[in-house]
Amino acid sequence: MKSSRLVKQSAIRAGAMAVVKLIGLIGRVILTRLVGAEGIGLYQMAYSFYGLLLMIFGGLPTALAIITAKKPWLGWHFFKSLSLIAMMLGGILSLVVFWNASALSIVLGNPGLQYALRSLAPAIFAAPLLGLLRGYLQGLERFNIIAVSEVIEQGSRIFAMLLIAGYLLSQGIDIAVGGGVLATFIGALISFTLLTIYVSADQRKHPITPLPAHKLPFGWLFKASFIISLTRLLIPASDFIDAILIPGRLKAAGYDTSQATAMYGVITGMAAIIVYTPTLVTQALSHTVTIRMANYWQRKLWPQFHKLFSLSLEAAWLWGLSSAIYMYVYASELSLFIFNTSEAAKPIQYLAILPVIVGFRELSTSILWSQDIKKITFFGLLIGIICSIIIQYVLIAIPGFGYIGAALGILVMEILSSLWNYYALKIKFVSALKFVPYLILDTLVLIGAMYLIHSLSSWWNDGPISLVGFLLETILFFCAAGAFMYVRFKGKILAG
């Protein structure tokens, strides 16, 4: 019964995450068509800086959730005390960013960023408070209201962003993007208001006796928070380094500031968005199976654990391979029909294999975490990021290697992280070799399906493929891929 409840909670969380990311993707696509490659480059640079700053508070919500799950009354007292700390630190940080936006934009390599940084300043104050409130509710296992708040926050943020950016577009791209990111604060404020009303009503029903602040074990909380923040800091830090490194090295290759920002926008705001989108499926799968696998591991149910392990990796492989083949073949159409430019076509092809690699990394990370192995995934990701930085620093500055160097850096980071996880899982090389024929067969079948659909499409496409033709071919390919996956997994799902 408990296991069923955990799986249900995990599914709710994964579903909300998928909806939030889907809304974000739609908003990002529309914004890209509004402000172009340079505008989305400014947007990405501003958000990489914003994400890095938020990691100062990153571990507190999770640490608060852990202690609230163990002692709800203690979690409430922690929440009140930590909220005061977050208000002071967030307020100071917000004012510093607002007053020094011009200087920070020069440090980041683009003076046009000052408008976006000023607009993000209020969100720097609001976001930590919202994170703490969600952390407290997570500890109470109120996943439904958290999911609702995330969807409402994202929906209101995207709506306000597009409305403001569209209105200010006539005043220039810098100002339009700057005004658009103010929507981050608007979304956070709406979500925080909703959760505050919910918590206030809950507190009236279940009042908690006050406790002096000096009796709270802040030492344990801040220590746990620091460890969690350190782990989660890697990806935002990597994004922030990319925001400085990629445009900077493109300038060294001879591009001006506008061209460098636009190329950065193409690789991170267009191509990366497209190739990482299929991983929403593997993320949802990862969140759904992790709880069950942790339960099997804790109860020493080794056959069930390994069966689910094998089934999950097989599903991630087939979905990732299908997505990779599709994106490589239709890179030009995806770039043109989604972003209204052909500039992202080559970068999409360079990164097309990512759904396979990322799917394995996410699932292997979940499997290791279910076995309470956490440090190895941290070091694997750290090594991947370091190698990525070195590769990008060297290659991007070479004329003509801008997109190739940036894409290769991203690929190396993901590949090394995945290989590190593979080593940690202690899968014997000989055992892995027996799956090679099946992997080759899967690849040939899916490539054959794509070739057949391409051949059939020549009957109704005399010239360049139309939007309707593209959608029809997309449906046909994924129907064929879905049918193949159904045959492969028939009888396995119920057994797993």
Q: What's the CA gap between 162 and 29, in Å, rounded?
A: 11
Measured CA to CA, the distance from residue 434 to residue 440 in angstroms comes to 11
pLDDT value at 88 more than 50: yes
Domain match, 263 and 304 both: yes
For residues 26 and 467, what is the distance between their CA atoms, to the nearest angstrom? 17
SS3 content of the chain, % helix, strand, coil (to 5): 85, 0, 15
**Domain boundary at 230, 261, 289, which?**
230
Task: Please tell me the predicted confidence (pLDDT) of residue 108.
Answer: 84
Q: How many C-beta atoms lie closer than 10 Å to residue 276's C-beta?
A: 18
Do both 265 and 206 map to the same domain?
Answer: no
Q: Which two tokens stand for residue 269?
A: 């705001």
Q: For residues 322 and 330, what is the distance between their CA atoms, to the nearest angstrom?
A: 12
pLDDT per position as a tens digit, 116-139: 999 999 999 999 999 989 888 877
Name the average pLDDT for the chain: 83
Q: Which of 209, 230, 251 is the last residue of a domain?
A: 230
| Domain match, 406 and 486 both | yes
Please check the confidence at residue 151 and state whether its pLDDT lies above 70.
yes
Instruction: Tell me the per-residue pLDDT of 389-436, one tens digit each, with 9 for 90 and over.
Output: 999 999 999 998 999 999 999 999 999 988 888 888 777 666 667 778
Q: Supply the range of the domain harboring residue 134.
A: 1-230
Of 172, 195, 230, which closes a domain? 230
The answer to whether 232 and 59 are in contact (CB under 8 A) is yes
Q: Give the integer Cα–Cα distance in Å for 414 and 411.
A: 5
**What is residue 313's predicted lDDT score, i.e. its pLDDT?**
83
Residue range 427-469, pLDDT digits in tens: 766 666 777 887 888 889 999 988 888 777 767 666 677 888 8
223 and 283: one domain? no
pTM of the predicted model as reported, rounded to 2 decimal places:
0.78
> Same domain, yes or no, for 337 and 425?
yes
8 A C-beta contact, residue 158 and residue 87: no
Q: Looking at the structure, tell me whether residues 460 and 359 fall in a common domain.
A: yes
User: Residues 221, 302: one domain?
Assistant: no
Whether 73 and 85 map to the same domain: the answer is yes
Residues 430 and 465 in one domain: yes
- Which residue is it, tokens 């950016």? 165
Identity of the residue numbered 335: S
Rounded distance between C-alpha atoms, residue 408 and residue 42, angstroms: 22
What pLDDT is attached to residue 214? Answer: 47
**For range 334-345, the mean pLDDT:** 90
pLDDT score, position 378: 77
Please give the Cα distance from 333 to 450 (Å, whole number): 15
Residues 201-243 have pLDDT tens digits of 877 665 555 545 445 555 656 665 565 556 667 778 888 888 8
Domain identity same for 414 and 464:
yes
Q: Which residues are CB-neighbours of 206 under 8 A, at least 6 positions away?
A: none
Q: What percent of the chain has pLDDT over 70?
A: 83
Q: What is the pLDDT of residues 298-327, one digit of tens each?
A: 677 778 777 877 888 888 889 999 999 999
Q: Are 300 and 316 in contact (CB under 8 A)?
A: no
Q: Are residues 154 and 275 in the same domain?
A: no
| Same domain flag for 252 and 151 | no
Eight-class DSSP state of 398? S
What domain count does the chain have? 2
